[in-house]
Structures are given as C-alpha cells and as structure tokens.
C-alpha cells in the first residue's frame, strides 16, 4: 500500500514570513469578539506549530474574553479570518515568497509512489491559497488533509486526514513537519514523523531527521521495513 504523507505548510513547504495572516487574525477577532489585538499577535505567541482555533482561543482569552463567548465565536472567527486573508492576498505582492528548495521536484517524485495531503495549523483556504501562489497546489487535492479550523488538537487532525483519505491505516501514514508540535502530534496519533530542520540538534524526537525537504524521498524509504 502507498504511504499517506501529511505535509506541514509553514516552515516545511512555505518558508516566508507572512504578516498578513496576523493582520486578518486581529481584524476578525475585533469583529467577532470586539477585542483589539496587535497586527503581529501571532508572532507574539510563545509556541511554534499552533493550530488556528487554538491560537485564536489563547489570544482572546488573554484579552479577557470569557470562555463561553470564545467558544461561541470560534467557528465564525475561523471562517472570517480565512475569508479576509484570501481577499487581501488577491491584492498582495507575493513575488518574494519562497517555497522550500526543490519542493516542486520533490513533491512530483513523491506523487508517483505516495499519496500527498496537507496537515497544517492554517485554515484550509489560507493553506490552499499559499500553495496556489507557490505553484504547488496541484499536489494537494481538495477534500484531503486536515487544517487548523478542523480541530484544536494536532493528533485529531491526523485522524481527520486519515478518514478523508478513506480510512488510511496509521501504519501507512507519515507526518512531515518542522516543529516539536509536529513531532508530538504525530506520535500521539501513533504515526512516525520526519522532522525537517536546518539545525541538526533540533527535533530530536522525530523518527527521521532531515535538513532539507529534498531529502524527504530517501527519508520515507528508510521508514519502510
């Protein structure tokens, strides 16, 4: 059976800082909960690898919004911030955006022997808009993968992605990411993870560590018995 390879976006496929997502996070929070967040609110969060729903919850909780109000507004916020992002992106120059080196070639190679899907903390419209701008959208079909508005728990996202792939078995599923959250979520879900990081001392808990996405085909082969 083919491997289901679940790829993270930020820091794995997409290597450019994107302040727009923080700006629309703040705009949508103002509309939904009436709070004022800084445009760089996401950059101020301590932990990498956050999921959109969880990030919003933490930010507006800090702003003093009661938990019942947070819960009532989260889904609306998630849809609204993604909608605003796509609208604003249409007017944004992204010519300086950078994909991981060799991403297109690597994904094209993997597509011949694996099933590819996104697993990211981004809302789905944001993740897919980024892939479109980077020329990578064709590798990630609609209706597959899992996204930051699907759950606040990364292990649950993996289960959702497997379900969307037709109940793909965990033993044939691999996550690929660049943060400790990616590693922890994969292991909690009972699947191996390939850590992609330029620091050889980072992501020590990953099953395989690589310094560049171009090494992913070889890394996946090493996970096969």
pLDDT of residue 225: 60
Alpha-carbon distances of 114 from 14, 131, 140, 181, rounded to whole Å: 20, 19, 12, 24
Distance in angstroms (rounded) separating the CA atoms of residues 221 and 168: 19
Task: Give Cα separations from 181 to 16, 67, 83, 152 (angstroms).
Answer: 19, 24, 26, 12
Per-residue model confidence (pLDDT) at position 165:
98
Q: What is the pLDDT of residue 47?
A: 64
Is 0.85 surpassed by the pTM of this model?
yes
What gap in Å lies between CA 7 and CA 9, rounded to an integer? 7
User: Domain-by-domain residue ranges, the chain?
Assistant: 3-16+98-223, 19-89
- Which residue stretches of the chain have pLDDT < 50? none
Report the percentage of the chain scoring pLDDT > 90. 93
Name the CATH superfamily for 3-16+98-223: HAD superfamily/HAD-like (3.40.50.1000)
Q: Which strands form 173-177's sheet, in the order they lie side by side?
A: 114-118, 3-7, 173-177, 193-196, 208-210
Q: Over the chain, what is the mean pLDDT?
A: 95
* pLDDT score for 144: 98
Distance CA 6, CA 150 (A): 15
């Amino acid at each position: 059976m083919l491997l289901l390879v679940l790829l993270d976006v930020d820091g794995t496929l997409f290597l450019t800082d994107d302040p727009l997502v923080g700006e629309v996070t703040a705009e949508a929070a103002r509309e939904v909960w009436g709070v004022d967040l800084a445009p760089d609110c996401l950059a101020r969060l301590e932990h990498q690898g956050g999921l959109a729903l969880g990030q919003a919850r933490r930010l507006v909780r800090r702003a003093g919004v009661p938990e019942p109000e947070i819960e009532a507004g989260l889904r609306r916020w998630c849809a609204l911030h993604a909608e605003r992002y796509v609208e604003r992106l249409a007017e944004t120059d992204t010519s300086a955006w950078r994909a991981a080196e060799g991403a297109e070639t690597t994904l094209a190679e993997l597509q011949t022997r694996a099933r590819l899907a996104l697993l990211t903390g981004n809302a789905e419209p944001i993740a897919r808009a980024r892939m479109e701008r980077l020329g990578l959208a064709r590798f990630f079909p609609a209706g597959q993968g899992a996204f930051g508005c699907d759950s606040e728990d990364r292990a649950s996202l993996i289960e959702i992605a497997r379900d969307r792939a037709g109940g793909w078995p965990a033993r044939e599923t691999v996550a690929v990411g660049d943060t400790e959250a990616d590693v922890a979520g994969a292991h909690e879900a009972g699947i191996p993870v390939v850590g992609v990081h330029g620091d050889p001392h980072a992501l020590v808990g990953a099953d395989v560590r690589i310094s560049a996405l171009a090494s992913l085909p070889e890394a996946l082969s090493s996970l096969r018995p």
